[in-house]
Structure 1
Amino acid sequence: MTAPATAADRDPGLQPERTRLAWRRTTLSCTVAAVLAGKQAIHDGVSATGVVAACLSALVWIGFIAVAHRRIQSLGAARPLALSHRGALLAAVCTIAFAGFGVAVVL
C-alpha cells in the first residue's frame, strides 16, 4: 500500500490556470456591471442617489479589481497558496455591495 500524498507531493496540474481564468472572467463581468451602473445613473437624468450609487460602485469595483489582481498574481506561483479568509471576505462584500448599488441605481 502506498502512503497518502501530502500537500508537498500534490501536483496542481491545470487547476491554478482555470482558477486564474475564472478570476479574469469575474473581473470582466464586474467591469461590465460597473459601466452599466454608471450609464444607468446618467441615462434618465442625473439624480443624487444615482450618482452616489455609481460612484460607490466604482469604488467597490476598484476594491474587487485589487483583490482579483492579488489572487491572479498568487496563482502564478508553482505552488499557489489558498485564498486567504480576508480576500474571500472582501470579494464577498464587494459582490454584495454591487448588488445593493445596482438596486439603488435602478430605483
Structure 2
Amino acid sequence: MSAPGTDRDAGLQPERTRLAWRRTTLASSVVAVLALRQALRGVGAPVEVAGAASIALIWLAFLWVAHRRIRTLAADRPPPLAPRAALAAVACTVALALFAMTVIF
C-alpha cells in the first residue's frame, strides 16, 4: 500500500484550472482593449500615448504569465504555481485596476 497523497488522482482539476486561466486572460484582454480605447480617445498627447504603452506592456506581461501557466497545466502532474508567477499576475491585475481608476477620475 502506498503512502497517503502519493497516488493522487487529479481528475479534471487541472483542466478546470486551465480553463479558468483562459477565461481570466480573455477578461484581461477585454479590459486592456477598453483601457487602450479610453487612453487614446483624446488628441494623442504624450501622456496618453505613454498610458497606452503601459497598458499594452502590462497586458503582455499578464498574457505571458497566463500562457506559461496554461502550458504547465497540460502536464500529467502539473507543479504548483510559482510564487513569482503569482506575484506577477497579481501585479498586472492591480496595475490595470489602478490605471482604470486614474482614467475614470
The TM-score normalised by the length of structure 1 is 0.88
1:39-70 CA deviation, whole Å, 9 max, x = no partner?
A: 11122443333322221011010000000000
Matched to 1:87, the amino acid is A
1:61-93 CA deviation, whole Å, 9 max, x = no partner?
A: 000000000000000000010001011011111
**Equivalent residues in 2 for 1:22-101 (5 A)?**
22-101=20-99
Deviation at 1:105?
A: 2.8
Equivalent residues of 1:67, 1:91 under 8 A apart? yes
Unaligned 5+ runs, structure 1: none
- Cα distance in 2 for partners of 1:41, 1:47 equals 10
The TM-score normalised by the length of structure 2 is 0.89
Compared with structure 1, are the counterparts of its residues 17 and 72 closer, same or farther at alpha carbon in structure 2 (3 Å cutoff)? same
- Cα distance in 2 for partners of 1:70, 1:36 equals 25
Unaligned 5+ runs, structure 2: none
Matched to 2:73, the amino acid is L
Seq. identity, %: 50
Aligned length, in residue pairs: 105
C-alpha RMSD of matched pairs (Å): 1.7
